[in-house]
Amino acid sequence: MVVKRHCVNYDIKISSDNLNVASCIEWVSAPGCGGIDVFVGTVRSETKGKKVVRLEFEAYEAMAVKEMEKIAQIAIAKFSVHKVLIHHRTGVLDVGDIPVIIAVSAAHRGAAFDACRYAIDTLKETVPIWKREVFEDGAVWVAAHP
Amino acid sequence: MVVKRHCVNYDIKISSDNLNVASCIEWVSAPGCGGIDVFVGTVRSETKGKKVVRLEFEAYEAMAVKEMEKIAQIAIAKFSVHKVLIHHRTGVLDVGDIPVIIAVSAAHRGAAFDACRYAIDTLKETVPIWKREVFEDGAVWVAAHP
Amino acid sequence: MTISIRAFGVVKEIFGAISVNVDLPENATAKILKGHLQEIYPALSKLTSFALAVNSEYANDETVISSKDEVAIIPPVSGG
Amino acid sequence: MTISIRAFGVVKEIFGAISVNVDLPENATAKILKGHLQEIYPALSKLTSFALAVNSEYANDETVISSKDEVAIIPPVSGG
């Protein structure tokens, strides 16, 4: 399953297949850009001291790509960056797997860092994707309950 | 030509060969880490409106790896990150080529962003590497003169 | 009018379903629907928060729902 | 004593060489060497700045130089 939205300066994807960092960096790369900042999420082996067996990600795809598109558009306008790429996995992920890649290219590095951080921070607040942490003795939907 | 320094939690390299982003990310990746921030420098096609033909990088290798090692050690101590990788190219680079890769893994993303930015900002201030910008009508050593 | 509500994440467990159909007065707002759902599914009130999406956009309390809209419950997101 | 000074970047062009040998009094400091070099190579004073490295560490004005040290001029760096 793959849902995409793209444009000359942004590339949004939600996919149940592995994400590829090298091709993401290649996509945002451009002759006028002097710096690329990339955030790569990885599945941690533990949460608050509890061993994580796997993660399961579920997305409301139609809405998630729209929210990711807004993030990319705002990041480009707000930080004057060249290109923004946001790819997110769904399905079952093991420890070390990559749930999310955000790559931003810009003429100057400060803008790339700021826009990349804005994008991951906002994604975690607004994009309708949910993570279920599976432990050896049970599972929880992250952040669902206080 | 390759000069290296490494340790369990940092990896420093100055090399006249191409840098490889995917293997850098793989190196910093670890089961306990939840986020990786990567800065990729790229050769820009122009500087202040002037077309850049190529860049030439020269390093005082013995000193540069020591300064890069200090940056990695301070970044790890100051921001409590897992692993820091700093690779820098020397020699002739064309537009789009990658002069520098910095990758930082951490349990939490804020620390990875902060440490990565610290590392590239400090590298540009202290590491004895010099860049000659070659234009169609001449060349300059960047930052040499006011 | 009958509105179909899509469920994701923890809400699928609360509903025991991937969607439920509820009867609402014409021109009901998102606020009315939220109140209605909290009555039928008290477990929703135990969540950190939940929002409604109408046609895959976040709704606010005043958003009016019509029978052709795609409506979904958005429990606290946790992507990334 | 005779000290060999390595040059990098723009300093290679100023020296017209990748290293030069200069005569210094015993126990000369980095400050003395810098002044000496600026006299011989006035173009050094036109740089944004320049530092000395002794044994591949940045020297400060008080750093004492001995004949066995590896000394280098570090013009403004521009890596990254």
Nearest to A32 among B31, B46, B116 (CB): B46
What is the pTM for the complete model shown? 0.94
Mean pLDDT (whole number) for D52-77: 97
CB atoms within 10 A of CB A2: 11
Please say if the pLDDT value at position A104 is more than 90: yes
For residue range A1-14, list pLDDT tens digits in order.
889 988 899 999 99
Chain A residues touching B45 at Cβ < 8 A? 31-32
> Is A59's CB within 8 Å of C46's CB?
no
For residue range B60-117, list pLDDT tens digits in order.
999 999 999 999 999 999 999 999 999 999 999 999 999 999 999 999 899 999 999 9
Measured distance CA(C4)–CA(C18) in Å, rounded: 10
Mean pLDDT (whole number) for A98-106: 97
Using the Cβ of C69 and the Cβ atoms of chain A, whether some distance falls under 8 Å is answered with no
For residue range B51-68, list pLDDT tens digits in order.
999 999 999 999 999 999
Among A99, A84, A80, A74, which Cα is nearest to A5's? A84
> Is C75's CB within 8 Å of A144's CB?
yes
CB atoms within 10 A of CB C26: 9
Q: How many angstroms separate the CA of residue B32 from the nearest CA in chain A?
A: 5
> Is B125's CB within 8 Å of D77's CB?
yes
Q: What percent of chain A has pLDDT over 70?
A: 100
Q: Read off the amino acid at residue B63.
A: M
Q: What is the pLDDT of residue A32?
A: 85
Can chain D be said to touch chain C, i.e. do they have 3 or more Cβ pairs within 8 angstroms? no
Residues 6+ positions from D14 with CB-CB distance below 8 Å:
D7, D41, D43, D44
DSSP output for chain D: -EEEEE--THHHHHHTSSEEEEE--TT-BHHHHHHHHHHH-GGGGGSS--EEEETTEE--TT-B--TT--EEEE------
Q: How many angstroms separate the CA of residue D57 from the nearest CA in chain B?
A: 7
Q: What is the pLDDT of residue A75?
A: 98
Q: How many CB pairs under 8 A join A and B?
A: 93
Among D33, D17, D41, D31, which Cα is nearest to D67's? D33
Note the CATH architecture for domain A2-136: Alpha-Beta Complex (3.90)
Chain C residues touching A123 at Cβ < 8 A? 79-80
Measured distance CA(A25)–CA(B20) in Å, rounded: 11
Please say if the pLDDT value at position A48 is more than 90: no
| Length, in residues, of chain B | 146
Name the burial class of residue B95, with classes exposed (0-12), middle (13-18) and buried (19+) by CB atoms within 10 angstroms of its CB.
middle
Please say if the pLDDT value at position B49 is more than 90: no
Nearest Cα residue in chain C from A59: C8
Which chains lie within 8 Å of chain C at 3 or more CB pairs, if any? A
Please say if the pLDDT value at position A53 is more than 90: yes
**Chain center to CA of A22:** 15
pLDDT band for A31, please (50, 70, 90 cuts).
confident
ipTM: 0.93
Q: Give me the CATH code for the D2-74 domain, please.
A: 3.10.20.30
Using the Cβ of B75 and the Cβ atoms of chain D, whether some distance falls under 8 Å is answered with no
Q: What percent of chain D has pLDDT over 70?
A: 100
Nearest Cα residue in chain A from B107: A44
The mean pLDDT of chain A is 96
Q: What is the pLDDT of residue A18?
A: 96
Mean pLDDT (whole number) for A105-128: 97
pLDDT band for A105, please (50, 70, 90 cuts).
very high
Mean pLDDT (whole number) for A106-131: 97
Nearest Cα residue in chain B from D11: B144
> Is C79's CB within 8 Å of A62's CB?
no
For residue range C19-75, list pLDDT tens digits in order.
999 999 999 999 999 999 999 999 999 999 999 999 999 999 999 999 999 999 999
For residue range B15-24, list pLDDT tens digits in order.
999 999 999 9
pLDDT band for D34, please (50, 70, 90 cuts).
very high
Q: What is the pLDDT of residue C14?
A: 97
Mean pLDDT (whole number) for D36-49: 97
> Is D80's CB within 8 Å of B57's CB?
no
All structural domains of chain B with their residue ranges: 2-136
Element (H, E) at C42: none
Q: What percent of chain A has pLDDT over 90?
A: 88
Q: How many angstroms separate the CA of residue B110 from the nearest CA in chain D?
A: 22
Measured distance CA(C35)–CA(C3) in Å, rounded: 14
Is residue B63 classed as helix, strand or coil in its secondary structure?
helix
Q: How many angstroms separate the CA of residue B67 from the nearest CA in chain A?
A: 21
pLDDT band for B6, please (50, 70, 90 cuts).
confident
Q: How many angstroms separate the CA of residue B62 from the nearest CA in chain A?
A: 26
Please say if the pLDDT value at position D20 is more than 90: yes
Using the Cβ of A132 and the Cβ atoms of chain C, whether some distance falls under 8 Å is answered with yes
Nearest Cα residue in chain B from A20: B22
